[in-house]
Amino acid sequence: MNRGALLRSLYVQVLIGAVLGVCVGGLWPAFGAGLKPLGDGFVKLVKLGIAPVVFCTVVHGVGSVVDLRRLGRVGGRTLLYFEVVSTVALVLGLGVVNLLQPGQGFHADPRTLDSAKVSAYAGAAGKLGVSEYLLNVIPNTFVDAFGRGDLLQVLLISVLSALAVQGMGEAGQRIVAGVRLGGEFFFRILGLVVRLAPLGAFGAMAFTVGAYGFGSLNRLLKLMAGFYLTSALFVGVVLGGIGLWAGFSVFKLVRYLREELMLVLGTSSSETALPGLMRKLEGLGCSPATVGLVVPTGYSFNLDGTNIYMTMAAVFLAQAMDIPLGLREQVALLLVAMVASKGASGVTGAGFVALAATLQAVPGIPVEGMALLVGVDRFMSECRALTNLVGNAVATVVVSRWEGELGAAELRRRLEAASPD
């Protein structure tokens, strides 16, 4: 690839924007912190098209499937996969944090911490009860789901709409065809928006470094390094092993999704890459029905990076505040985290909110201790989002392989030949 073509590549442009943002935030912190609207504005632009894209993809994909038993089988296999792999992520985080013990020697006193920094997250966590969570999946009106942008709500009305058009015969198939054209329309809109990704990455990284500074990393560097290492182990060993079992290389899949991963890295949000992820998974041979069901559901139920973060952060806080956690307490922490990781979907700062919910449900670790993590959470959010994205991509390919939608040899050939522009 020549230099001109390289510079025209979106993932290179995003990388350049992120590096420039780090430089600006480091050299001129106040100015860099003031660039936050650039990153926030780009994320909002992307989010405005996510709900329509998910709706059109699910209605077209599911509405085109004649065998409803197949849909039930796909849904059951997907949820089983999510639960098993998410639990592995939680256990892995728990094991590594006990091995590294990054909080030992911190000797933090929770009474001296600024609890106001975490009060908003703790308040949101208090609303994550089971009944509230289930009721929150149901939107107030059909269009309210699109207004809120809650993926679970959008997924619910999408599946209901798809089942409705299936019972309408030929007229329903005409609706499905119209929805497919609508999906193309919204994908085109998002294609235009994504060209602004370098600017969004520049603003987001400038704000992160300018507002928090590299100095905030010093005392928590061991936790950060442990979290990044654990996430890399999860992708390379756990997801890599799953990929080998399913007949593909997770590293080639990561290369195939490099533009989406750079987008996530620059914006600290996996949602910005959702439309592109769905398109590329369909390009590999996954059916629109499988992509439409697995990916949006995974964004709520298969947050592997968030799961690793939750157990590591919770045990780190206990170590930092000299609170001993025995096997019984850590098993309880694990069980609570399994539920809390699902309950925070659709909530701003989901990883931090899920952590707050977990701490409130496990006596002994003051939620005020989360103030220790506020300064570095932004630096870890990129890793959480990247791991979440790769986890959902692997899940979709594995479910497609289970369903016989694509063979191992054909999948490997497409990954080998793939050259994202």
CATH of the domain at 283: 1.10.3860.10
- Does position 125 have pLDDT exceeding 50, yes or no? no
pLDDT at 219: 63
Residue 280 has pLDDT above 50, yes or no: yes
C-alpha Rg value of the chain to the nearest Å:
21
What's the mean pLDDT when you consider all of the chain? 80
Q: Which band of pLDDT confidence, cut at 50, 70 and 90, is reported for residue 234?
A: very high
pLDDT at 398: 94
Residue 420 has pLDDT above 50, yes or no: no
Q: Percent of the chain having pLDDT more than 90?
A: 15
* Better-scored residue on pLDDT, 252 or 76: 252
Helix (H) or strand (E) holding 293: helix 288-301
Start-to-end CA distance of the chain, whole Å, equals: 11
C-alpha angle with apex 23: 18 to 26, nearest 5 degrees? 120
Q: Could you tell me if 393 and 264 are in contact, meaning their C-beta atoms sit under 8 angstroms apart?
A: no
pLDDT of res. 115 = 52
Rounded Cα–Cα distance for residues 403 and 75 (Å):
11
d(CA 250, CA 256) in angstroms, rounded, equals: 10
Residue 135: give the domain boundaries.
3-417
> Which range (78-92, 315-329, 359-373) has the least confidence?
359-373
pLDDT tens track for 131-177: 666 677 788 888 888 887 777 788 888 888 888 887 787 887 888 88
| Nearest residue to 59 (alpha-carbon basis) of 145, 147, 160, 167 | 160
Copy the structure tokens of residue 302. 């298969």
Confidence at residue 91, expressed as pLDDT on a 0 to 100 scale: 92
Domains contained in the chain, number: 1
Please give the residue that has the higher pLDDT: either 234 or 205: 234
pLDDT at 114 over 60: no
Q: How confident is the model at residue 253 (pLDDT cuts 50, 70, 90)?
A: very high
pLDDT top residue among 189 and 231: 231
The rounded distance, in Å, linking the Cα atoms of 249 and 14 is 25
Q: Which residue has the higher pLDDT, 241 or 145?
A: 241
Q: Which comes out higher in pLDDT, residue 201 or 375?
A: 201
Residue 32 has pLDDT above 70, yes or no: yes
Give the separation between CA 327 and CA 335, rounded to whole angstroms. 12
pLDDT of residue 421: 44
Residues 255-277: tens digit of each pLDDT = 999 888 888 887 777 778 888 89
Separation between Cα atoms, residue 313 and residue 358, nearest integer Å = 11
* Secondary structure of 185-242 in HEC code, one letter for each residue: HHHHHHHHHHCCHHHHHHHHHHHHHHHHCHHHHCCCHHHHHHHHHHHHHHHHHHHHHH
Nearest CA among 13, 24, 14 for reference residue 208: 24
